[in-house]
Structure formats: C-alpha cells, structure tokens
Amino acid sequence: MFNKRIKIKDLLASDKANYQATAMGWVRTFRNNQFIALNDGSTNNNVQIVATLGEFDEAILKRITTGACIKATGEVIPSLGKGQKVELKATAIEILGDSDSEKFPLQPKKHSLEFLREIAHLRFRTNTFGAVFRVRHSLAFAVHKFFNDKGFVYLHTPIITASDAEGAGEMFKVTSLPLDGTAPKNDDGSINFKEDFFGRSTNLTVSGQLEGELAAMAFSDIYTFGPTFRAENSNTTRHLAEFWMIEPEMAFYDLEDNANLAEEFIKYIIKYSMDNNAEDLEFLAQRLADEEKQKPQNDRSEMGLLEKLKFVVENNFERLTYTEAIDILKESNHNKKKKFQYLIEGWGTDLQSEHERYLVEKHFKKPVILTDYPKEIKSFYMRQNDDGKTVAAMDILAPGIGEIVGGSQREERMDKLTQRMQEMNVPADELWWYLDTRRFGACPHAGFGLGFERLVQFVTGMGNIRDVIPFPRYPKSAEF
C-alpha cells in the first residue's frame, strides 16, 4: 500500500520519538542542502526533514525545490532545533511531483492578498489560507452538528428555481435557449420561455427559504445549507455573487424563539471553532494584529480577534427594536456632525452598513439583535405586527461586518399574506404552492438566514469576503 503516511499535525503533536515513519507533503523551503521544511496542509507548522549530507544522490537533491511534492521515510528523532519537539531523519526520499522553482509563484516570502486572489488555485498552500479554510471546514461541520443534535432535518432546496424569494430581481437567468438572437419569440418580441428546457423562465436561487417553509410544515424543524446567488454589481469587500447560506425554518416558533435560536447557534459554532482550531485562530489573530498596526489609532479595533470571539461567546447579545435604534442613531454625535454618509432623518430609514456598525462597534460594543422593522423595507412573507406599521423581523449585527443574520416570524395568516403580496406586486398565482401551506394546517413559524462567508469572515478576522471562499465569484471574475 502506497499511502502509509503519518499526518504532519499528528507527528508534531506526539512526544513519541525513535520510530520509523513516512511523511508526504509539499516543500516550503530547503536549506543548506539538508533541511527540508515539509507541509501537508494538516497544520500550518512544517516538519523538518533532515537529509544527511552525503547520503542522497545529487540528482534527487536538485529536485527538492519550493512547491515540489515529496515522500520522506526515516526515523522520528528528538529535534535539536528551536520550536519543534521532533524531526524526521530521512533514509529515503522520493519525488512525487517536481516544481520549477523559477516559475512557481509562491516563493517563500510575504505576498499580498490581492496577488494571492489572482492565484487562488495555489493560495491554499500559504499559512493564511491554510488557517482560513481549516476554520471554514470546522464552522461548516459545527453547523451540521448543532442542528443534527437538536433533531433538525437537513433539506436540500433547489438551486434552479422559478420563484424569487426575496423580491430582489437581481437574479442569474438559467436557459438552454440560444443567445445569438434566434431564440423563439412571442408576438410582442419577448422570448418565449415555453420553448425553454423547463418550459418557463428560471433562475439561480437567491434563497431556499420558501421551500424550507414547506418542509417545516411537516418536519417542524429543518435547515438548509447550500449555495445562493445574487446578480448584483457590488464590487465591495462584503459581497459575492455566489455564496453559501444557512437557513433554518421552525414550526411553532415566534420572533423571540427565533432570536434565541440564532444567538445560541452563532455562539455554538464560534465556540466549536475556538475549541478545535486554537492553533489556526492564534495565527490569524497575530496576522490581524500586525495588520491593525498599519492603521491610524482611531481605526484600530479595541479587541484582538481571540478576545472578540470570547466576548461574543460569553455575553448576551443586545436586543432592541428598530425604533429604539433609530432614536439612538438620530441623536448620535456621528449623525449630528454629519459623519454618516447616509444621514438618519427619521423613522422609516433603511439602515446602511455604517449605521449597523455604529450600533455594534461604537454604541453597544457587542453583537446586536434588531427587531420590528417598518414593513415597507421588508419582504412580503414577514408577519405583520398589530401596530400596522412594523413586521416581526430581526437582524443580528456583528462587529466588523454589520448584518450577519436576517430573519423573521413568517406570516401564517392567509388574508394578511395575500393582502401584502398584492401591495408588493408578488404574483400569487406563481406561488400557489407556498400559499397551500397557509390553506392546509397553517401554524406560527419562523426562520432566519445566515450568510456563511460573513460568519467565516467574522471568525477569521479577514477583511475581504473574497478571501474566505475558495474560488470567489464577483463582477468580471469567474476564474478557476
């Protein structure tokens, strides 16, 4: 059997020495023609492979270059060098894959994140992205563990859909019709989608929520975790055209139940990562601290990454209504001194990221759950409150990134829902299947959506959302 290797993480974690082992990985550096720093992605730490002088063919040594993949077999011995307990004294080295050191883009030096985005197929081999994507994996695993342990059913909702859950309109079209102008047309010149693959106009999904509600009306508690798409021309550090969403839907929940679950969920998955990725988070915390030193004093975070994560896990989130938030923002010095790009004039304003971050980072200095928004700025499916002005919506705002969760109690009353759909020009005939859940055994229910990449950003401290998804999709970029 070829693969009888020990992972470098396990090799370095053990105090055991004086035994035979095989390690495989990619060469980070090769010093003095005898010391190889080898990494296999299981940890940011390299194991030192010692190729004793005179014991290996010169032709083999020449092929041990940065980026090359090797297999090294030998004795694990106590290390005399600093920073590692053991090293591997090689008796055999096999080159599994050569790497032209002149052309390999990842030389052993500091690279900018912008440059690494251009070589996203290789950036996994850097310490920063090794740490980020191991943390991402842990967070994803924790999502499933949290819901599984609570008895939720994991539902796969469609990626191709004919409905627009958000009423956003910013959607990617899916079609098999030709794009050269020869697609079949209706009498008015519009494209005849009856001739298309699905017999109607279809898009990539913006949310699995509506389908999730259908399943919650049978299983009580479900969650989705899958890719969603927005065709928005947003070239920012917070937006992607393709991203992953976690969307639980719960029967017999009201808005408070919903907020309680969301807070518990966020704390659980952050704690899981802190418990299982301590080494990676320490590395990312130091990276962020170094980055913060380059900023003016006023722009620096008051807490380090690990301190911030601990604070979120150990403290209750601040809860207040949209109306209370507007009063705080309107009376703030920031607003009075016109430091906001979008000034708060009064009730009904749709909060921008700068307002959300002010509440979280300057005023409360902790995550905030905002509830009861004006119905005019929220979606048709949100439950209308008795005041006739607001809906039972909630957003969770996090330091550094603003909104991380959006959710609501859903409108279960048929008359209220159809009236709101008419007001917002949502076609009831296209959503007949959704309305059936109100016709046949409706019940109070609620749910929320969490943008997974924003969560990964929050936990890793990365400033750009394009650096927490393996292959980012954004305007004018669909490489790899």
List, for residues 1-53, the tens digit of each pLDDT value: 888 999 999 999 988 999 999 999 999 999 999 999 999 999 999 999 999 99
Q: Which of 460, 451, 135, 468 is nearest to 309 (CA)?
A: 460
Reported residue count of the chain is 480
Q: Does residue 373 register a pLDDT over 60?
A: yes
- Name 234's Cβ contacts closer than 8 Å, sequence gap at least 6: 474, 475
Whether 89 contacts 75, CB under 8 Å: yes
What pLDDT, on a 0 to 100 scale, did the predictor assign at position 399?
86
pTM: 0.94
State the average pLDDT over residues 97-122. Answer: 93
**Crossing angle for the helix pair 452-460 and 278-292, nearest 10 degrees?**
80
- Provide the mean pLDDT of the chain: 94
What pLDDT, on a 0 to 100 scale, did the predictor assign at position 165?
60
pLDDT band per the 50, 70, 90 thresholds, residue 358: very high
Higher-confidence residue of 293 and 49: namely: 49
What pLDDT, on a 0 to 100 scale, did the predictor assign at position 164?
65
Exposure string of 314-351, with b = 16+ CB inside 10 Å and e = fewer, is eeebbebebbebbebbeebebbeeeebeeebeeeebeb
Exposure string of 372-407, with b = 16+ CB inside 10 Å and e = fewer, is bbbbeebbbbbbbbeeeebbbbbbbbbbbbbbbbbb
Secondary structure letter of residue 121 according to DSSP: T
**Complete domains list, the chain, with CATH:** 8-108 (2.40.50.140), 125-171+206-467 (3.30.930.10)
pLDDT band per the 50, 70, 90 thresholds, residue 149: very high
Whether 234 contacts 475, CB under 8 Å: yes
Q: Does residue 464 register a pLDDT over 90?
A: yes
- Distance (Å, whole) CA 145 – CA 156: 16
What pLDDT, on a 0 to 100 scale, did the predictor assign at position 224?
98
pLDDT band per the 50, 70, 90 thresholds, residue 78: very high
- The C-alpha angle with vertex 474 and arms to 468 and 480, in degrees rounded to 5, equals 75
- The C-alpha angle with vertex 310 and arms to 305 and 315, in degrees rounded to 5, equals 130
Q: Tokens representing 213?
A: 């509600």
pLDDT band per the 50, 70, 90 thresholds, residue 242: very high
What pLDDT, on a 0 to 100 scale, did the predictor assign at position 177?
95
What pLDDT, on a 0 to 100 scale, did the predictor assign at position 331?
93
pLDDT band per the 50, 70, 90 thresholds, residue 169: low
Task: Return the minimum-mean-pLDDT range out of 75-89, 157-171, 208-222, 357-371.
Answer: 157-171
- Distance (Å, whole) CA 79 – CA 86: 4
Whether 368 contacts 360, CB under 8 Å: yes
pLDDT band per the 50, 70, 90 thresholds, residue 140: very high
Helix, strand, coil % over all residues of the chain, rounded to 5: 35, 25, 40
pLDDT band per the 50, 70, 90 thresholds, residue 168: low
SS3 452: helix
